[in-house]
């Protein structure tokens, strides 16, 4: 785990379609100073307002994670947030010329590749962690999320779908040694063909296609080249959850376990997390006694 905060060595620029708006969106991810966090800037609006990527700025989780502040919104932030968290980038500004983060290929790979190319630098400020001292759990309607004490940053996920292409899948990831970029980043978002048609009927999902999502019909996976991983579905759920948990503002040192959870339930858990302040503390690595091995 890194002792120091990190940011990009130089800006990166990407361009793509919004998943729901279908609009072409330009995204520039810029370095930011220590203790700045991750913020989004709407350069298409007067005054180029900033919106903090914090769980208390979340205004919708029905189809994607949407944050808002002072009447301005940024939508579909989860894949970019997962990339920043998975690459252990603490400080950055994401500038957009529209309201929705581009979906790219439906995964985090394009973002992580761009960040690798730009380079990542350590900053002169300690990196703080939420250190889990005792379990925090939330269970409801057959879903469950919990965090448990652990000396490692680990996330486990179980999903269950009544479809032969998915069924039950489980995966555990330790966020160390570039595992996110290799094992989770390339996993694409997925959905059922019938749901995509329903969204389009109501003016949503305009940018969705086989180029940026795994689409499933009654016969199985519709994408010509199939899956990138046999268990790509659960890997993508981990990707989404890493993005959701990044909205806490600092990384968790502990084991996150998810069972049939999604954006909405993850967000409910984040609120529960802050209600149980006796179950965790914030601390730099040196105070924890960790040797500072690379993530």
Q: What is the pLDDT of residue 277?
A: 96
Q: What is the pLDDT of residue 204?
A: 65
- At 98-120, the pLDDT tens digits run 999 999 999 999 999 999 999 99
Band (148; pLDDT cuts 50, 70, 90): very high
Residue pair 90/106 in contact (Cβ under 8 Å)? The answer is no
**What percentage of residues in the chain have a pLDDT greater than 90?**
85
* Interatomic CA distance for residues 42 and 46, integer angstroms: 9
How crowded is the C-beta side of 86, counted as CA atoms within 13 Å? Answer: 34
pLDDT at residue 198 greater than cutoff 70: no
Residue pair 158/260 in contact (Cβ under 8 Å)? The answer is yes
Phi, psi angle pair for 267, to nearest 5°: -65, -40
Helix (H) or strand (E) holding 46: none
- At 232-251, the pLDDT tens digits run 999 999 999 999 999 999 99
Please say if 255 is a catalytic residue: no
pLDDT mean across residues, the chain:
93
Mean pLDDT in residue range 23-52: 97
Please pick, among 20, 236, 255, 263, the residue that the annotation labels catalytic.
263
Mean pLDDT in residue range 147-161: 97
- At 6-21, the pLDDT tens digits run 999 999 999 999 998 8
**Cα angle 151, 155, 161; round to 5:** 160
- Residue-range domain boundaries for the chain: 4-126, 128-288
Residue pair 19/25 in contact (Cβ under 8 Å)? The answer is no
> How far is CA 103 from each of CA 15, 31, 85, 158, rounded to the nearest angstrom?
9, 21, 17, 24
Band (53; pLDDT cuts 50, 70, 90): very high
CATH number among 3.30.460.20, 3.30.1700.10, 3.40.50.2300, 3.40.30.10, domain 128-288:
3.30.1700.10
Mean pLDDT in residue range 155-159: 98
Do 4-126 and 128-288 agree at the fold level?
no
Q: What is the pLDDT of residue 202?
A: 65
Mean pLDDT in residue range 34-54: 97
Band (292; pLDDT cuts 50, 70, 90): very low
Q: What is the pLDDT of residue 207?
A: 79
- At 55-100, the pLDDT tens digits run 999 999 988 899 999 999 999 999 999 999 999 999 999 999 999 9
Enter the CATH code of domain 4-126.
Answer: 3.30.230.20
Mean pLDDT in residue range 209-230: 93
Q: What is the pLDDT of residue 201?
A: 64
Band (54; pLDDT cuts 50, 70, 90): very high
């Amino acid at each position: 785990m890194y002792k120091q905060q990190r940011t990009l060595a130089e800006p990166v620029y990407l361009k793509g379609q919004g998943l729901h708006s279908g609009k072409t969106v330009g995204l520039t991810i810029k370095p930011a100073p220590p203790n700045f966090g991750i913020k989004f800037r709407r350069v298409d609006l007067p005054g180029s307002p900033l919106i903090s990527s914090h769980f208390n700025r979340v205004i919708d989780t029905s189809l994607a994670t949407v944050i808002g502040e002072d009447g301005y919104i940024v939508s579909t932030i989860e894949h970019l947030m997962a990339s920043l968290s998975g690459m252990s980038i603490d400080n950055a500004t994401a500038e957009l010329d529209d309201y929705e983060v581009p979906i790219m290929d439906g995964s985090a790979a394009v973002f992580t590749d761009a960040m690798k190319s730009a380079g990542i630098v350590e900053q002169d400020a300690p990196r703080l962690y939420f250190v889990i001292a005792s379990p925090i759990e939330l269970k409801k309607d057959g879903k469950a999320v919990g965090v448990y004490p652990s000396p490692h940053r680990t996330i486990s996920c179980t999903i269950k779908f009544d479809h032969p292409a998915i069924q039950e899948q489980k995966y555990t990831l330790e966020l160390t040694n570039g595992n996110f970029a290799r094992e989770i980043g390339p996993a694409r978002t997925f959905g059922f063909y019938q749901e995509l048609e329903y969204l389009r009927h109501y003016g949503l999902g305009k940018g969705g296609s086989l180029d940026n999502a795994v689409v499933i019909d009654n016969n199985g996976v519709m994408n010509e080249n199939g899956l990138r991983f046999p268990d790509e579905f659960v890997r993508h759920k981990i990707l989404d959850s890493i993005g959701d948990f990044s909205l806490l503002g600092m990384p968790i040192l502990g084991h996150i376990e998810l069972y049939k959870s999604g954006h909405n339930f993850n967000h409910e858990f984040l609120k529960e997390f802050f209600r149980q302040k006796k179950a965790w503390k914030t601390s730099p690595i040196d105070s924890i006694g960790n040797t500072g091995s690379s993530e």
